[in-house]
A and B are shown apart, each in its own frame.
Chain A
Amino acid sequence: MIEVKNLTKKFKETVAVDNINFEVKSGEVFGCLGHNGAGKTTTIRLILGLLQPTEGKALVWGKPLSQHPDLRCKVGVLLENDGLYENLTGVQNLNYYASLYDVTSKEEQITGLLDFTGLANRCNDKVGTYSRGMRRKLGLARAILHKPSVLLLDEPSAGLDPEVQKMVRDLILNLAKEYNMLIFLNSHDLDEVERICSRVVILQRGKVVACDSLVNLRRQSSEPAVEITLAAGQPPQKAVDVLSTLDRVNRIVPDGNRVTVTFEKHAAPDPLPALIGAGIKVEEVKKLRRSLEDVYLEIIHREEKQ
């Protein structure tokens, strides 16, 4: 399990990570989100003990990894760089790391992972000849080779095609579920995070601006929205006029015969009676489920205004 307590990291004047706090438990898939330069990679490096905190601490199983090499045996990492040697073949790379991590039944484990990642037929080629996606896959295989209990991933699916992205997502979910693995991942890909993470922390300029389960984040931040589909031939402008007279409306966006209305927080939208009262025929009123992207952007913008 990971504990991050009052963690601060300064590089000269830059405060890369600014007094952040969170905890992650086994079996959790935990996402760390934020714009470029928000401090995600620095946070992972601090957890791994590659960097020393300026203040506070980052602990895994209650201890700093920098001082406990033995604990690092149970930690897997895939950083921005795949950690592979171009002059060695795929198998040689995996063999090397398997030895470093004291993996028992090396051969079996390596063959299994090569089959799983679909790299078996290229495994005796030098990694220098692999494509970006193949390297990332091999890097992931390398990271889970020793069946770690904690897996730290820095943008795991960057540069992968949609099919492989799905493979990576399924793998992550499976690892968390079957092996009760703790998975901490940095990502820009909100869609991916939404599909696999149970909890997220959002960083902005090194600070935590939100840390909660996805369900709670949606609930808290939600400005409720509805999408109204007008019956054929109905003038959208008239509907917009009617809708703008409603209470607590934030935004109205017409698009063809559809109108999206966003309300203020905690409002209970019910636009139908007003529309019917004005004689407008409506085909469908749909409550919109807000994506993580909406929630993320809302939180980031709200913080920026403050």
Chain B
Amino acid sequence: MNRSYIIARKEFKELLANRSTLLTSLGVALFFAIVYSMSLTAEGSVAGLISVDGTLFFLSIMLGVFMAYSLTGHVFYKEKTDRIIETLLSSPATLRQIWLGKTLAVTLVAYIMALTAMLVLITIASIRSQSFILPGAPVLFHMIIAVPVFIGAFVGLNGLAQMALGMKENRLLGFLIFIPLFAGLYGMGFSLGAVTSITWVYTGLVLLAAVLLISLAAFLVRFLSTERIVTTLG
């Protein structure tokens, strides 16, 4: 069996076993889904400021990344602070397999949670407006293809950084990512949602960016060394 897959499966299992983290993250996702659903109708917001497509487009990616942000540390950095990584690095698994396995697991769980939140959002908005709200084809494609790839790119890069950095740098990094993410979820959502129609160009750009970022992460893995990891244990 492929070692990346073995690692991914184990990380997936462990994430699911970590109920408190999982429920907290899901809680946050549902909170935002509900908040945004309140201002949505089939025609967009009451004031006509926010479009359904714009909201789904923006929120799916932001929530996905936010979920990934809350889980990455449990899978990548925690193994360093617990010092278990040394044992794993002594196993036949290579650094690339370890990185890939972990990235896959976090991406999958984060994506499932984000998707759940989006479904909740659509359901509530549909019920409130008493009509079935269906996003346009570009947005559907975006949610099904581009969003998971984008989450993967974020997890891949963030995970890589967590493996390479020490305790202090990791705290700083977490902080630096959190601020814009949270600000985005709160405020910018409404302004970005104001874009009335999401075309294939938007979707294509996001997917392109995601593919580029994930390639960058995969390329950067070659510069990560076990020594770097072992000498920056918490």
Binding site for B on A (CB under 8 A): 11, 45, 48-52, 65-66, 69-70, 72-73, 75, 77, 79-88, 92, 96-97, 99-102, 126
Q: Is the interface of B mostly helix, strand, loop or mixed?
A: helix
The reply to whether A81 and B82 form a contact with Cβ atoms under 8 Å apart is yes
Whether B226 and A69, one on each chain, are in contact in the complex, defined by CB atoms closer than 8 angstroms, is: no
Across-interface contacts of A73 in B (CB, < 8 A):
92
Interface residue? B3 (CB, 8 A): yes
A11 to B231: give the CA distance in the assembly, Å.
9
Tell whether, in the assembled complex, residue A45 and residue B84 are in contact, meaning their CB atoms are under 8 Å apart: no
Across the interface, which residues of B come within 8 angstroms of A92, CB to CB? Answer: 10, 13
- Name 20 extra pairs, CB < 8 A, besides A69-B94, A81-B82, A85-B14: A49-B90, A50-B89, A50-B230, A51-B231, A70-B92, A73-B92, A79-B83, A79-B90, A81-B84, A83-B86, A85-B10, A87-B14, A87-B18, A88-B13, A88-B14, A88-B17, A97-B91, A100-B6, A100-B92, A100-B93
Contacting A at CB under 8 A, from B1-19, are 1, 3, 6-7, 10, 13-14, 17-18
Q: Which chain A residue has the least Cβ–Cβ distance from B88?
A: A83
Chain A nearest CB from B77 CB (Å) reads 14
Q: Which residues does chain B contribute within 8 Å of A69, judged by CB atoms?
A: 92-94
In the complex, what's the smallest C-beta–C-beta distance from A12 to chain B, in angstroms?
A: 11
Say what secondary structure dominates the interface of chain A. Answer: loop
User: Do A99 and B89 contact each other (CB < 8 Å), given the known contacts A81-B82, A87-B18, A92-B13?
Assistant: no
Candidate in B82, B84, B91, B94 with the most chain A CB atoms within 10 angstroms = B91
Residues in B whose Cβ lies below 8 Å from that of A83: 84, 86-88
| Chain B neighbourhood of A87, CB < 8 A | 14, 17-18
Q: A86: nearest residue on chain B (CB-CB)?
A: B82
| A173 CB to nearest chain B CB (Å) | 23
Query: A152's closest neighbor in chain B, by CB?
Result: B90
| A51 near B227: Cβ-Cβ < 8 Å | yes
Residue of B nearest to A76 (CB): B90
Return chain B residues, CB-CB under 8 Å to A48: 89-90
Q: What chain A residues lie within 8 Å of B3 (beta carbons)?
A: 100
Give Cα A11–Cα B155 distance, bound, in whole angstroms: 31
Tell me the complex Cα distance, A86–B82, Å: 10
**Nearest opposing residue in chain B for A70, CB measure:** B92
Interface string of B222-234 (1 = CB under 8 A from A): 0001110011000
Contacts of A96 in B (CB 8 A): 6, 10
**Chain B contacts of A100 at CB under 8 A?**
3, 6-7, 91-93
If A83-B84, A87-B17, A99-B1 touch, does A50 touch B90 (CB 8 Å cutoff)?
yes
Complex CA distance for A80 and B90, rounded to whole angstroms: 13
Is B87's CB under 8 angstroms from A81's CB? yes
How far is A127 from B84 in the complex, measured between Cα atoms in Å? 13
For A78, the closest partner residue in chain B by CB is B87
28 A-B residue pairs with CB within 8 Å? A11-B231, A48-B90, A49-B226, A50-B86, A50-B89, A50-B230, A51-B227, A52-B227, A69-B92, A69-B94, A70-B92, A72-B90, A75-B90, A77-B87, A77-B90, A79-B86, A80-B83, A81-B82, A81-B83, A83-B86, A84-B84, A85-B14, A86-B82, A87-B17, A92-B13, A99-B1, A100-B92, A126-B17
Nearest to A71 among chain B residues (CB) is B92
A45 to chain B, nearest CB (A): 6
Across the two chains, which residue of chain A brings its CB closest to B7? A100
B225 closest partner in A (C-beta): A52
Interface string of B1-43 (1 = CB under 8 A from A): 1010011001001100110000000000000000000000000
User: Could you tell me if A50 and B226 are in contact, using CB atoms closer than 8 angstroms?
Assistant: yes
In the assembled complex, the Cα of A81 lies from the Cα of B87 at a distance in Å of 8
Q: How far is the CA of A92 from the CA of B6 in the complex (A)?
A: 12
- Most chain A CB within a 10 A radius of its CB, from B17, B18, B90: B90
